Amino acid sequence: MKKIFIASDHAGYSLKKKIIKFFGNDILFIDLGTNNSKISVNYPDYAHKLCKKVSNSNKNIGILVCGSGMGMSMTANKHKKIRAALCYSIKNAKLSRLHNNANIITLGSRLIKKEIAFKCISTFLNTKFEGGRHIKRVKKI
């Protein structure tokens, strides 16, 4: 069973819970918060928490959800060893892994339908880094 770190702010909480329920039989989620949608929280706090966990091993993967996905992505990409990709389609989720070796997917709960989010996550988790010519590019990040 895969182990995936997941976190959200208040705007992403509902989609985060749907993700956990949808994939719950196949994935062990380590939920790093937030724990409700009623209390406004600062998304960087949750992105930093998840990035610390993901950066501990090159095998770790994370999912971050906020209203647009952009704030989580911007915050996550400040961390060494993190390559966070804001995904909105199956194609860009696949390419983020194939070409960029992304280790965190970020999603915008206010901008993506849950079915597309599920497909993006599934694609992200099941796509391996292509390596080859992309290795030198990723090393320059």
The CATH number of residue 108's host domain is 3.40.1400.10
Distances from the Cα of 103 to the Cαs of 4, 27, 63, in angstroms? 10, 16, 9
What is the reported pLDDT for 3? 86
- Listed in order, strand segments (DSSP E) in 11-61 are 27-31
- When pLDDT is cut at 50, 70 and 90, the band that residue 1 belongs to is low
Return the ∠ at Cα 119 (arms to 137 and 18), rounded to 5°. Answer: 120
> Which residue of the set 48, 79, 99, 134 is catalytic?
99
The span from the CA of 17 to the CA of 41, in Å, is 17
3-class secondary structure, 138: helix
What is the reported pLDDT for 24? 87
pTM of this structure? 0.97
What is the reported pLDDT for 83? 98
For residue 2, pLDDT beyond 80: no
Q: What is the pLDDT of residues 11-70, one digit of tens each?
A: 999 999 999 999 988 999 999 999 999 999 999 999 999 999 999 998 999 999 999 999
User: Would you call 53 exposed, middle or buried from its count of C-beta atoms within 10 A (0-12, 13-18, 19+)?
Assistant: middle
What is the reported pLDDT for 29? 97
What is the reported pLDDT for 30? 97
Contact in structure between 65 and 8 (CB atoms under 8 Å):
yes
Tokens of 128: 């391996």
- Percentage of the chain exceeding pLDDT 70: 99
User: How many domains would you assign to the chain?
Assistant: 1
Does residue 10 have an active-site annotation? Answer: no
Distances from the Cα of 111 to the Cαs of 15, 98, 140, in angstroms? 11, 24, 31
Residue span of the structural domain in which 93 resides: 2-139
What is the reported pLDDT for 79? 98
